[in-house]
Structure 1
Amino acid sequence: MAKIIISAFLCLAMFGSLAQAAAGACREANGTAPVAGSCDAYIECKNGVAEEKLCPDGLLYNEKSTGYPCSYPIDVECTQPQARLQAAQPTDECPHQFGYYRMGDASHCGQFMNCAAGRGFVFDCPEGLAWNPATYKCDWPDQVEDCDAEAFLGFRCPPLAPKSDLLGEQEQDYTFHPSQENCQVYFICIEGRPRRIGCGEDQAFNQELNQCDDIDNVPNCSSDIRAKGAEIKAARASAAAGRRKLN
């Protein structure tokens, strides 16, 4: 009988110490906490009971999240010393199970892939913009470190006129240039690197104003572009007239 009592006491003591250890990992009864030395592992606490979990491959534990505790690396500042990560789980389409990845080389910067559970979904940036892996956004190509803006846009900025002590500083460090292929497109050169700007469907680039203008004020547009612009303006005018009648 004494042995049974002692054994029961030892079991209770062991269970109590384990419960205290689990509870010690929990700062609150319900919530999450980081794991020392890891950026993608975390402690999940439910009713004071702690369980170590791992974020899906490609995501990191986000201590600041108020919902799902795993986020893309751009949203997480992992300051764990000698932080370790789980081994990558690549597929035929993706380098990690989750993440955003640019496609193409330095002259083809406008596509990116979103990987979700190992499946890759390809997206195109709006025309003239490049995928920026530093911000997870489509950006001006001259702002993307590994994008060759000139090759990507098919336009090379002419050299700026040399500065002269007699003439003083140049008035502008950017210049405007029409597209030779499309009157509704122009380029702005900033510090010698181009950005592509598109006008509205019923507008075109006016070289005298250095901005988009009514297509009727731009004589160098083709007849097809003019006809399309006139059609769009007529449709808008008809829609506006219909709204006025309803009011």
Structure 2
Amino acid sequence: MKVLVFLTCYVALINSQFICPPKDGQYPDSRQCDKFHECEDGVAVTKYCPDGLVFNPAIRKRNKCDQPFSVDCGDRTELQPPQPKGVCPRLNGYFAHEDPKVCNKFYNCIQGEHIEVTCTQGLYFDEYTGTCVWPDTSDRVGCDVKTNVLKDGFSCPKEGQKDDNGNLVIHPKYPHPTDCQRFYVCLNGMEPRDLGCTVGEVYNEDLQKCDAPENVPGCEDWYQSEPSPAPKAVKKTK
């Protein structure tokens, strides 16, 4: 009876182990996404990706450990316990800033050492894609957007600006309401910048560039109201 019990347990143990396919190589675990089996001559050796990375069978090179946002784990939902270090929730990967109000910065963690990265102005970091995206396509909430309002109260219109073909302008420009020489630029449609034309020119809204005052209705006399420069002193000769 004891021998029968032993044999039953031994068979169950063998069945629970990974069975190598005929071809040598690396194969994903059926339940754990960062776990894989390396087969050589029909013998399987179980291995794990570095903490934060998962196994990607689609990679043709030998190192098949990849970022989670690049891999569809499917039913392989289990992961090894995290090994947090400093601001890195796991040793490897791209992670959002620890302050939930800071959405334009993230950390690139490599073996627990982090590099802080700032997105292009107007974009937020998205952990699901590991990239910087437009705020309306991300799920980030509570972000600090106070920097999107200038001191004079100007903010970029939400509806954006379209060109003559009906396409959305990436960096639209807007005239200043009271100053002919100044205008606003909205970087990526969201980050406002207060700019100005060189002295002698004014902003032409129709052409979307600086132009001569006589070409802009309402700004023809913009520089004529300025006081004339004081005459230079003439040195007396003896």
TM-score (norm 1): 0.56
Q: Secondary structure at the match of 1:122?
A: strand
Structure 2 residue 61 is the aligned partner of structure 1 residue 69: no
Report if the CA contact (8 A) 1:141-1:149 is conserved. no
The runs of 5 or more residues in structure 1 that have no matched partner are 1-17, 161-170, 221-247
Deviation at 1:158, TM superposition (A): 5.6
Cα distance between partner residues in 1 of 2:58 and 2:123:
31
Structure 2 residue 135 is the aligned partner of structure 1 residue 138: no
User: 1:84 is matched by which residue type in structure 2?
Assistant: E
Which residue pairs with 1:32 in the alignment? 26
Q: What RMSD, in angstroms, separates the aligned Cα atoms of the two structures?
A: 4.3
The runs of 5 or more residues in structure 2 that have no matched partner are 1-13, 160-165, 220-238
Percent of aligned pairs sharing the same letter: 27
Cα distance between partner residues in 2 of 1:112 and 1:41:
26
Cα distance between partner residues in 2 of 1:177 and 1:79:
48
Deviation at 1:98, TM superposition (A): 0.6
Structure 2 residue 86 is the aligned partner of structure 1 residue 89: no
Tell me which protein shows more helix as a share of its residues: 1
Report if the CA contact (8 A) 2:121-2:187 is conserved. no
Alignment partner for residue 153 of structure 1, among 148, 159, 182?
148
TM-score (norm 2): 0.58
Report if the CA contact (8 A) 2:204-2:211 is conserved. no
Deviation at 1:90, TM superposition (A): 0.4
Report if the CA contact (8 A) 2:87-2:98 is conserved. no
Structure 2 residue 205 is the aligned partner of structure 1 residue 208: yes
Report if the CA contact (8 A) 1:128-1:196 is conserved. yes
Q: 1:159 to 1:92 in 2, by over 3 A?
A: closer
Deviation at 1:208, TM superposition (A): 0.8
Matching of residues 2-81 of structure 1 within 5 Å: 24-29=19-24, 31-67=25-61, 68-80=63-75
Cα distance between partner residues in 2 of 1:210 and 1:217:
12
**Number of residue equivalences:** 179
Cα distance between partner residues in 1 of 2:78 and 2:187:
45
Alignment partner for residue 129 of structure 1, among 118, 123, 132?
123
Which residue pairs with 2:186 in the alignment? 187
Deviation at 1:119, TM superposition (A): 0.9
